[in-house]
Amino acid sequence: MILVLNAGSSSIKFALFDTKDEAMPEVLSGMAEAIGGASRLRVDGEAKDLPMIDHRAALTAILAALDTRGITPKTLRAAAHRVVHGGRKLTAPVRLTPEARAEIAACSPLAPLHNPHNLSAIETLAELAPDLAQFASFDTSFHATNPDVATRYAIPKMMETKGIRRYGFHGLSYASLVRRLPEVSGEKLPSRLLAFHLGNGASLCAIRNGQSVATTMGYSPLDGLTMGTRSGGIDANAVLRLVEENGLDRTKAILNHESGLLGLSGGKSDMRNLMLDPSADSAFAVEHFVYWTLRHAGSLIAAMEGVDAIAFTGGIGENAVGVRAGILRGLEWLGVRMNPDMNHRNGPRLHAEKSEVALWVIPAEEERMIARDACALMEPVAA
C-alpha cells in the first residue's frame, strides 16, 4: 500500500491506496485539520478532537491512527506527496533524495504558501519513519510541455531567469483526466482536448495529443479564471495601485482571499450557495464565472487550432449542472450540443448524438494519480 499526503498550511490530507489491485482502490482517507488551533483528526468520516500543535504532531497522530488499523510504516511500500511547485527542474515525479528536497526548497519563493508546508511534511515523515521510501509529484510538471511562447512573459530576460514566467497548476488533475478519459469513454484520447478544472481554485488547460500546450494559471495560481476567493486575471497596474493604497500584505490578502466569487457576491465563495441564492449579486458572480471561463476557453481553443472534446472535472465541474450548461451553451458555435438529461445526471457523457464535440465529466483523482506516479518509480516488488 502507498500513503499519499497533501500538506497545507494548517492541514494534512491523507489517503491510502492498495497497490495489489491494478485499479489501485482507495482503502481509507482522512485529514488532520486546524493544526495549531482547535485541531481535529478525521479518518473515513469519523472525527476526533485532538491537540496537534504543528505538522509533526499531526503526522504522528495520522501514523497512530493508521497503526490502530494495522497499518505501520513497515507495511507500507512508500509515502507519496503532492508538491505544488517543481519549478523548471522538477518536471516529473521523483524519489525524494536530499538533492530533490533541496530543489523543492529552492522553489519555495515561487510558492511560499505551499512548498514550505509540503517540504515540512516530507522532512517530518523522514524523521518519524526513516526507512520509508518517499516520492513527490508536482502540480506544475504537467505543463512543462508548454512552448516558450506560452510561458514567457514579455519582460527583460534577466527577470525571466529569476523564475518569473508562467508555470500553470492543477497538473495532477489534468494528468489524471488524460489517463481516465479513455477508460470512461471507451475511445482513444481526443487529439485536441479542452479540460476544465473548476472548483474553489479553477483553471483551463489545452491538451494536444495528451500534452499541455496552454493553461490559464501563470506564475501563481492567482491568474486566469474568476475563482472562489481569488481575483483571477487583473491588470498589473491595478495591482500596483492596490499596493500603493493598501500596502503589499493587505493587497495579497485582498487578491487571494477576498476576491473572486466571494468579492463579487458580497460574501459567498461556494458555488452551491451562490446557485441557491436569489440575490442579484450572487447571480452576477455566477454570470462572471461563466463569462470569463468562456473568454479563456476561446483563447485555449485557438492555441490548439480547434477542439475535438471537452471534459469537466473538479467540484464545480463535476456537480454544478447550471454552470456546465451555461458554459456549453456559450460554446454552441463550435457545434457543441449538450444532452440536458445527461447533464442533470452529471454525466459521465454529456453530448447529444448530433454534437460535433464530445463532452464528458471525469471525476478528479489527484491522490490516486500521485500513488500511480510513485508506483511507476518503484521496483516491482510485492505490495
Any residues with CB less than 8 A from the CB of 317 and at least 6 apart, and which?
196, 197, 198, 199, 324, 361
pLDDT, mean of residues 210-217: 98
350 φ, ψ to 5°?
-120, -20
Burial 114-138 (b: 16+ CB within 10 A, else e): bbebbbbbbbbbbeebeebbbbbbb
The confidence score (pLDDT) of residue 383 equals 40
Residue the block writes with cell 465541474:
317
Which of the following is catalytic: 21, 139, 148, 277? Answer: 139
Write down the mean pLDDT value for the chain. 95
Instruction: State the Cα–Cα distance between residues 233 and 89, nearest whole angstrom.
Output: 26
pTM score of the predicted model: 0.94
Q: SS3 for 104?
A: helix
Instruction: State the Cα–Cα distance between residues 53 and 34, nearest whole angstrom.
Output: 9
Any residues with CB less than 8 A from the CB of 67 and at least 6 apart, and which?
none
How would DSSP label each residue in 271-303?
A: HHHHHH--SHHHHHHHHHHHHHHHHHHHHHHHH
What is the CATH code of the structural domain delimited by 189-366? 3.30.420.40
Same fold, 2-138 and 189-366: yes
Identify the CA nearest to 145 among candidates 216, 223, 210: 210
Cis status, amide bond into 25, omega within 30 of 0: no
Under a CB-based contact definition with an 8 Å cutoff, are residues 201 and 257 in contact? Answer: no
If pLDDT is split at 50, 70 and 90, which confidence band does 113 have? confident
β-strand 40-43 against 26-33: which pairing, if any?
A: antiparallel
The confidence score (pLDDT) of residue 141 equals 97
Does 381 have pLDDT greater than 50?
no
If pLDDT is split at 50, 70 and 90, which confidence band does 380 have? low
Torsion sign across C-alpha atoms 144, 147, 153, 157:
positive
Tell me whether residue 106 is exposed, middle or buried, using C-beta atoms within 10 angstroms of its C-beta: 0 to 12, 13 to 18, 19 or more.
Answer: middle
How would DSSP label each residue in 37-68?
A: SS-EEEETTEEEE----SHHHHHHHHHHHHHT
pLDDT, mean of residues 119-124: 94
The confidence score (pLDDT) of residue 198 equals 98
Instruction: State the Cα–Cα distance between residues 10 and 191, nearest whole angstrom.
Output: 40
The confidence score (pLDDT) of residue 131 equals 95
Instruction: State the Cα–Cα distance between residues 272 and 268, nearest whole angstrom.
Output: 9
CATH 3.30.420.40 fits 2-138, yes or no: yes
Give the start-to-end residue ranges of the domains of the chain: 2-138, 189-366
Instruction: State the Cα–Cα distance between residues 263 and 109, nearest whole angstrom.
Output: 27
Annotation marks residue 341 as catalytic: no
pLDDT digits (tens, 9 = 90+) for 130-182: 999 999 999 999 999 999 999 999 999 988 888 999 999 999 999 999 999 99
Q: SS3 for 29?
A: strand
Measure the CA dihedral 311/313/316/317, to 10°. 10
pLDDT digits (tens, 9 = 90+) for 317-330: 999 999 999 999 99
